[in-house]
Every structure is written in structure tokens, then in C-alpha cells.
Structure 1
Amino acid sequence: MSGKLIALTGATGFIGRHLLRALSARGYRVRVLLRRPVEVPEGASGAVVGDLARPMNMAAALTGADAVVHSAGLAHAMSGAPEDDFRSSNTEATRHLAEAAQRAKVGRFVFLSSIRAQSGPSASSPLSETDAPAPTDAYGRSKLAAEQALAEIGLDWVALRPVLVYGAGVKGNMAALLRLARSPYPLPLASLTGRRSLVSLESLTEAVVTVLESPSPLKRPLIVADPDPLTLPEMMSALRTGLGRNPGLLPCPVPLIGLACRATGREASFDRLAGSLIARAEGLTALGWRPAQETREGLAALARGENG
């Protein structure tokens, strides 16, 4: 690598922590933007303290940067947050940072968006970047609005729309699946047939590197998804394979599973994991991106790491 200087936001988050380590290991210099004075994260070549909602220090953060990788924002797990909070954290903060990047003449702005900018939690047919975006919640709308703001500003930007990301330290639905995989009991999941696209932290990193190194202007959203969508039983089998166990899956009528989830307050999580959401990373693949690993192998490795 050429030692390009990357300004990274969200370096203490689930995705940002991994990006910091991985980009530094590849020879990039990474300057992190922190919201409060803390110890500089390992792998950072420098740090600037500032608040994206009040961008006073943006000039210092972006001076000399070749690119911005913006992974900070209000996560989808904060589903109870008001729409204004998502708009402020995910849309307006992105706009302010992009405007500062344009003033600093940064070469490229890489925005970590989400597949939820394009779709609800499930989709009846495979998604591609040519589909009209149709977000269904405040989180997805805020991400789409941020993408639209980037297009209006005029700098060279790209919005990566990852599907469900898994990797060490994952939370939310994938963490719940890991807990189920570690349970000693057979699970009544064998009858679920909905297929979902996933992407590993490592493959998402490859996507970031691909767009950082692309020689031509991008100025568009790109889906990030492994090419092999899995059913929930296949996910569980891969996780339990990583734990050195048999799948232990039993058939059960799907409506009965849904009823049990509703009775225990897990209806939304069930709908997100049991429904289908297949996404095609066609634009990113055309740029030369390849996933770092096959999804089943990645899930097995996750279970081994989490279990150890």
C-alpha cells in the first residue's frame, strides 16, 4: 500500500474497531476521530477529538487525508430511538462531515450505510443496487437520507450497504444465535426455509479496501453481501460445526415457532432472521471485490472464536 492517510470515524464501534486494525495492518495510516478524550486506539497513527454534531475540529481531522471512512452513527439496535435522533446522528452528522471533507479536498468519502437504506427486514425477491430504495423504519430512512446528502454535495463518495454483519464481538440477532448454538438442547428450527445474505467483518473490510483503491469516481451505493445466502437452520448448523457439535435441529411447524416467539417477546427478531433477504453485491464484484471467506466457514470460525 502507498501509506494513504485515512480519516476514520466510529473507531471504537463493532465495525470501526476491526477496520482500524485491518487498515493499519495493510499499510494505511489511520487518523481516528474520537468524541471524547480517551486513549488512542491501537493501530491509529493519530487522533482528533471532536463531535460530528458540532464539527469544530473537522479541519484538523481531515487535513491531508486521502479518504474518509465514516462508520460512526446510531445503530439499528437502538430501535426505540426517536426518528429525530436517527436523523441527527446518521443523516446530518454525515452531511456535516462530508461538507468538511469537500472543503479539505479529501479524495473519497466512504460511508458505511446499510441494506436497510434499501429494504425492510425481509424482501420477496433478491435485492440489487438498481432497485428503488424502500426503507421501512427510521434507521433505514436516515441512512438513505445520508446517501442522498452525499450525492448533493458533489464530492467523490460511495455508500456501502452491508447486510447483517457478523464477526468477533457481534451483538444483536447474531449474538442471540451464538447463544442458541452453545445451548445443549436440540432446537426446533429445521423447518425454516427463508434465506438471508450475511457478510463477515473480514469481507466488509475487503469491500472498504476495494472502494478506497478504485481508480475511477464511484458516486453511488454498493451492496455488500456474501454470494451464498443461508437459511436459519444452515446458519445454526455452521455455528454448531464450529463448536464441534452436531446440528441438533428438529422440524416444527413454522406458525408454532412464530407463536412461541410472540409469547416471549421475540417476534421482531424471529421475523428478521426467519424471513428472506437476499442481496447481490453485483456492483462491488464488478470492481474486483471478493468475499474473504465462504459464509459457512466464517460462521464456524466465529463460533470457535467466541467459544474460546
Structure 2
Amino acid sequence: MLKGVILITGHTGFVGSALVAALSGSQLRLVGRRHIAGQPGQFFQKELTTTEDYSDCLAGVSVVIHAAARVHVMDDTAADPLAAYREVNVAGTLNLARQAAASGVKRFIFISTIKVNGESTLPGCPLTSSDISQATDAYGISKVEAEVALKSLCAETGMEFVIIRPPLVYGPDVKANFAAMLKLAKKNLPLPLGAIHNARSMVALDNLVDLIVTCIEHPKAANQIFLVSDDNDVSTTELLKLMVEAYGKKPWLIPVPMSWFRLAGKLTGKQAIVDRLCGNLQVDITHTKETLGWKPPISVAEGIRRCFTDSI
């Protein structure tokens, strides 16, 4: 059990709910729009806005873990997507952080995104925590601006910050493209994905949660930016093989050259999809491991195995 009271935002989300479960023996305060029955901790119904008053839930809190955000939205219908992201991810975050500092919170842990660094990497040139931001989409830009505002506030007030930038997070009940790949792996249909020689960093949900928990009290985590991954980059081909094998089957992947996919992407206007399928996105977590004496507790293979729940 950790010392002090810990406040968690985004407790109903993919990462937040796993974090709450991992900290079930600690003193928790959960802040959000709704409560999940059976979750441990004291619930406070709040919005992440510029006007919300958090004074009641912040009283006596030692650490805030801020996982709530306006996340990446596919086919965004907002008239001004960047303004919508800024309203929540920048202004809303700063309002919470400012009140946290005023309430005497010692440490503010901000769950950011690798999109702050960029969307892709060249072979053998992984992203690091000291890189200049190369954010390109509205979500990534809003997270960059939130990080800058948070660091400035902490410099003024003395509250410690910890910024964690995860790449793709996967685990039980994962959604979107990763869930679609899991379903394909379960069916084990013949797929033309047997010769994609890229390298992508991911992080199992359990590994990310373990790092967040480590950062709650670790003295060397103060005022640091940490990248996180499973520390074992995989190609799209390797990932599909692991998925199929986790389901107890033999992979059935046809080796089609990557150049064919890139040509098809150009001809069909689906280049962005092909880039995600064939491109590289590697992160270097040396700083994280050496600063905290931390390493991912589970392997990629074990992380994939844990994805196969009844919902897949």
C-alpha cells in the first residue's frame, strides 16, 4: 500500500481502470463523469474544464495521476478539432494542475502520448525523451502544449511533474485497429502480411501501469519525462504471428513484398493506412530504465496472450 492519498482522473478509461485495479489497496479518489460500480476509492463527479472546482477532491491529496483527456478521434466532427483538443487537454489540464499545486499536491503525473515526439522513425533512429517535438495532428499538438504549460506551472509552484509518453497501448478489451487485428488472428485467415520488415514499439497495459505506479513515489521520477515500451520492437508480421500463436494456432501469412503495399496505397489513396502497417515507430526507453531502475515486467508475447479475453 502506497503512502498518502492518490487522485486519479480518467478512471473509467482503458488505462485508468487498470490503474485503479492495481492501486486497489491504496487511498484513492476517482474524478470523472461517472462511477463504475465496485471500483475502490472515493468518487467525485467532475468535468475536465477550465471552470471546474476541484478543491473538495484535492484536499489532502499527495499525488495526482492525470489520465483523462480528449483522445485521438477518428473522423472528428468538431468544427475546429485543435480548439476542441486544446479546451480539454491544455486548458482543462492546467486548471486541474493549478488547483493541485495550490492544494499542496506534491507530484502531478501526466499521461501524455508518443505523438508528442512524432508519428514515425527512420530505421535505427528511435525517439528519445529529449527529442524536439514533431507532433503533427491536433491531439499530439494539444499534448505538447499541455506538457509545456505543466512544466512552467511546476517551475513556478514547486509541485513535481512526471510526464509519461506511451506508444500504442494494448491489453484486454483493447479497441480500434489492434482489436481488429486480434479478431483476424483468432480466425487465422490467410493474409498477405508475411514479409513486412518494419519495427514498432508498443506497450502492454500491465507494463504501462507498472511504470505509472513506480513513478508515484520514486524520488528520481521527479520532473522527468519518460518514454515507455515493452523494450522489444516487433514487425507487423511478427505481431500477427504472436497473436495467432497466442490463440494456439499456426500462423498462415503469405509473404507479399512491402513495395507492393506502398504502391497499392498510392493508387488507392490509402497511404496513411499503409504507413501504419509498414512504417517504423521505435522508442528508446534507456532513460526510463536507468533513471528508475525499471524494466517491463511482462514480455510482448505475454502481453498479447493476455489480450485474448472472451470479448475478442
Which TM-score applies when normalising by structure 2? 0.90
Give the 5 Å matches for 1:79-228.
80=76, 81=78, 82-124=81-123, 125-154=125-154, 155-216=159-220, 218-228=222-232
Paired residues of 1:7 and 1:32 also in contact (CA < 8 A):
yes
- In structure 2, the residue matched to 1:17 is 17
| CA displacement 1:172-202 (0-9 Å, x = unmatched) | 2211211221234111111111100110110
Paired residues of 1:135 and 1:141 also in contact (CA < 8 A):
yes
Q: For residues 163 and 116 of structure 1, what CA distance do their matches in structure 2 show?
A: 8
The number of equivalent residue pairs is 303
5+ residue gaps, structure 1: none
The 3 A distance-change label for structure 1 pair 72 and 262 is farther
User: Are positions 1:296 and 2:301 aligned together?
Assistant: yes
The 3 A distance-change label for structure 1 pair 251 and 87 is same
- In structure 2, the residue matched to 1:49 is 45
Q: For residues 98 and 88 of structure 1, what CA distance do their matches in structure 2 show?
A: 14
Identity percentage over the alignment?
Answer: 34
Mean CA deviation greater in 151-160 or 39-48: 39-48
Paired residues of 1:55 and 1:97 also in contact (CA < 8 A):
no
Q: For residues 16 and 266 of structure 2, what CA distance do their matches in structure 1 show?
A: 34
| CA displacement 1:47-87 (0-9 Å, x = unmatched) | 11111214433111211111000111111244635111111
Which TM-score applies when normalising by structure 1? 0.91
Paired residues of 2:188 and 2:252 also in contact (CA < 8 A):
no
Superposed displacement of residue 267, structure 1: 4.1
What is the DSSP-based 3-state SS (H/G/I as helix, E as strand, rest coil) of the residue aligned with 1:290?
A: coil
Q: For residues 235 and 217 of structure 1, what CA distance do their matches in structure 2 show?
A: 31
- In structure 2, the residue matched to 1:31 is 29
| CA displacement 1:211-255 (0-9 Å, x = unmatched) | 112124621321011111000011001110111111111111223
Superposed displacement of residue 256, structure 1: 2.6
Paired residues of 2:121 and 2:127 also in contact (CA < 8 A):
no
The 3 A distance-change label for structure 1 pair 306 and 192 is farther
- In structure 1, the residue matched to 2:285 is 281
Q: 2:62 aligns with which of 52, 63, 66?
A: 66
Paired residues of 2:12 and 2:36 also in contact (CA < 8 A):
no
Paired residues of 1:21 and 1:42 also in contact (CA < 8 A):
no
The 3 A distance-change label for structure 1 pair 233 and 177 is same
5+ residue gaps, structure 2: none
The 3 A distance-change label for structure 1 pair 205 and 39 is closer
Q: 2:253 aligns with which of 237, 249, 252?
A: 249
What is the DSSP-based 3-state SS (H/G/I as helix, E as strand, rest coil) of the residue aligned with 1:195?
A: coil
The 3 A distance-change label for structure 1 pair 251 and 211 is same
